[in-house]
């Protein structure tokens, strides 16, 4: 095979990565739009109840956005290494590049970025995704990468996760990722139910539902933890190796789970110890005060009573009727 303008003609162009995750951007945009919509009605809430209402809104939207976003992110486990490595098959060219491995719940992303980006008359900036979800075939994606002639570092890393690899980590990653994703979807549903319960002033039941949400989130981390702690398969590039650690999505999920746990426990404890303060936080004290004033019997002799209040007095308490001259 001969060169064509300094490159092998059967190799396609680089599949460069987007500057941002489009799925994450869409989810964040939706939740920010909801936040902006509710902020418009914020001036209509009086007193310190406005602050409590705003805090509940921000925390609730943060939990929902975090649980939903981490479903689609690809940085639960990440690793980078800089190495001098061969670039493509049938070529002795060696490039200096950053090689990244980003593992999510549904697959793995492998990036290759040259230092500098332009080397050997090519732009070295690749980002390839290989899915192991139940509706995808990882081995087929790997075979298609071989047919396209992807760079050797990407194929070398992707081969570690195939079903035929001696590393034997494909099944663990696939099953653990599936169960972690399923528990996160359940956590999103229980979060939504807790929002509905709080809106109906069922505070204790909402606290229980938040505890269930926290439990499901922490269980998803446990599933991923078992996957992460399988025997490590070395990914070696000459004298250096590619090591991975927990990524941003893992820590964000952990923070969200602990936040739901603290909020759920706090609501349950306040409901049993100081229910008045809990009602104050959820702006229910004014309603209670109005009900107390409405239910309080009022005698006609009381100067603070109005004519409407007199009409609500039981017949047994009516001792005298006063008339007002027009």
Residue 314 lies in a domain: no
The residue out of 145, 170, 195 marking a domain boundary is: 170
Cα–Cα distance for residue pair 109/106, rounded to 1 Å = 10
Task: Look at the chain and report how many structural domains it folds into.
Answer: 2
- Angstrom CA distances, 52 to 55, 163, 280, 289, stand at 5, 52, 9, 18
Residue 238 lies in a domain: no
Same domain? For 26 and 64 the reply is yes
Residue 296 lies in a domain: no
Cα–Cα distance for residue pair 100/12, rounded to 1 Å = 21
Calculate mean pLDDT across residues 49-70.
Answer: 89
Residue 103 lies in a domain: yes
Helix (H) or strand (E) holding 72: none
pLDDT tens-digit series, residues 202-222: 889 999 999 999 999 999 999
pLDDT tens-digit series, residues 237-250: 888 888 889 999 99
The one-character DSSP state at 4 is B
pTM: 0.78
Residue 194 lies in a domain: yes
* Model confidence at 26: pLDDT above 80: yes
Same domain? For 115 and 36 the reply is no
Same domain? For 129 and 89 the reply is yes
201-239 burial: b if 16+ Cβ within 10 Å, else e: eebebbbbbbbbbbbbbbbbbebbeebbeeeeeebebee
The residue out of 170, 204, 222 marking a domain boundary is: 170
Q: How many CA atoms lie within 13 A of 318 on its CB side?
A: 9
Reduce the DSSP state of residue 158 to 3 states and report it: helix
The one-character DSSP state at 297 is -
Same domain? For 68 and 206 the reply is yes
Calculate mean pLDDT across residues 69-75.
Answer: 90
> Where is pLDDT greater, at 191 or 94?
191
Calculate mean pLDDT across residues 125-152.
Answer: 88
pLDDT value at residue 4:
39
> Where is pLDDT greater, at 20 or 274?
274
* Model confidence at 65: pLDDT above 90: yes
Looking at mean pLDDT, say which of 215-219, 268-272, 281-285 comes out highest. Answer: 215-219
Same domain? For 93 and 133 the reply is yes
Same domain? For 106 and 166 the reply is yes
Residue 36 lies in a domain: yes
- Angstrom CA distances, 166 to 109, 231, 256, stand at 20, 12, 36
Same domain? For 101 and 223 the reply is no
Same domain? For 94 and 152 the reply is yes
Cα–Cα distance for residue pair 300/320, rounded to 1 Å = 8
Of 98-107, 131-140, 287-296, which range is least confident?
Answer: 287-296
Cα–Cα distance for residue pair 142/248, rounded to 1 Å = 26
Same domain? For 98 and 132 the reply is yes
Calculate mean pLDDT across residues 78-101.
Answer: 87
Q: Which domain holds residue 47?
A: 22-74+179-232+248-280
Torsion of the alpha carbons at 90, 92, 97 and 100, rounded to the nearest 10: 40
Query: Strand pairing partners for 130?
Result: 108
Cα–Cα distance for residue pair 224/76, rounded to 1 Å = 9
Calculate mean pLDDT across residues 78-94.
Answer: 86
Same domain? For 89 and 117 the reply is yes
> Where is pLDDT greater, at 6 or 227?
227
Q: How confident is the model at residue 21 (pLDDT cuts 50, 70, 90)?
A: low
pLDDT value at residue 311:
39
Cα–Cα distance for residue pair 168/170, rounded to 1 Å = 6
Calculate mean pLDDT across residues 139-165.
Answer: 90
**Residues 114, 151 contacting (CB under 8 angstroms):** no
Same domain? For 48 and 124 the reply is no
pLDDT value at residue 284:
73
């Amino acid at each position: 095979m001969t060169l064509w303008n300094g490159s092998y003609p059967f190799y396609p162009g680089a599949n460069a990565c987007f500057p941002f995750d489009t799925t994450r951007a869409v989810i964040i945009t939706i939740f920010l739009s909801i936040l902006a919509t509710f902020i418009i009605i914020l001036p209509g809430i009086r007193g310190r109840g406005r602050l409590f209402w705003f805090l509940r809104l921000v925390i609730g939207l943060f939990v929902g956005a975090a649980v939903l976003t981490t479903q689609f992110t690809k940085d639960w486990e990440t690793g980078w290494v800089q190495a001098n490595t061969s670039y493509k098959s049938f070529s002795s060219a060696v490039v200096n590049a950053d090689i990244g491995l980003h593992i999510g719940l549904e697959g793995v992303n492998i990036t290759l970025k040259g230092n500098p980006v332009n080397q050997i008359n090519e732009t070295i900036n690749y980002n390839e995704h290989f899915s192991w979800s139940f509706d995808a075939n990882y081995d087929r994606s790997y075979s298609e990468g071989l047919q396209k002639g992807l760079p050797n570092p990407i194929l070398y890393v992707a081969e570690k996760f195939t079903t035929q690899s001696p590393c034997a980590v494909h099944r663990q990653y696939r099953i653990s990722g599936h169960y972690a994703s399923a528990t996160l979807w359940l956590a999103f549903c229980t979060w939504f139910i807790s929002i509905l319960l709080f809106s109906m002033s069922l505070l204790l039941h909402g606290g229980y539902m938040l505890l269930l949400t926290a439990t499901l989130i922490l269980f998803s981390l446990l599933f991923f933890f078992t996957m992460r702690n399988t025997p490590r398969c070395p990914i070696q590039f000459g004298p250096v190796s590619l090591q991975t650690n927990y990524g941003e999505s893992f820590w964000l999920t952990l923070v969200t789970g602990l936040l739901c746990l603290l909020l759920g426990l706090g609501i349950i404890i306040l409901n049993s110890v100081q229910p008045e303060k809990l009602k104050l936080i959820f702006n229910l004290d004014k309603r209670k005060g109005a009900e107390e004033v409405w239910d309080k019997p009022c005698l006609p002799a009381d100067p603070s009573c109005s004519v409407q209040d007199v009409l609500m007095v039981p017949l047994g308490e009516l001792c005298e009727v006063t008339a007002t001259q027009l």
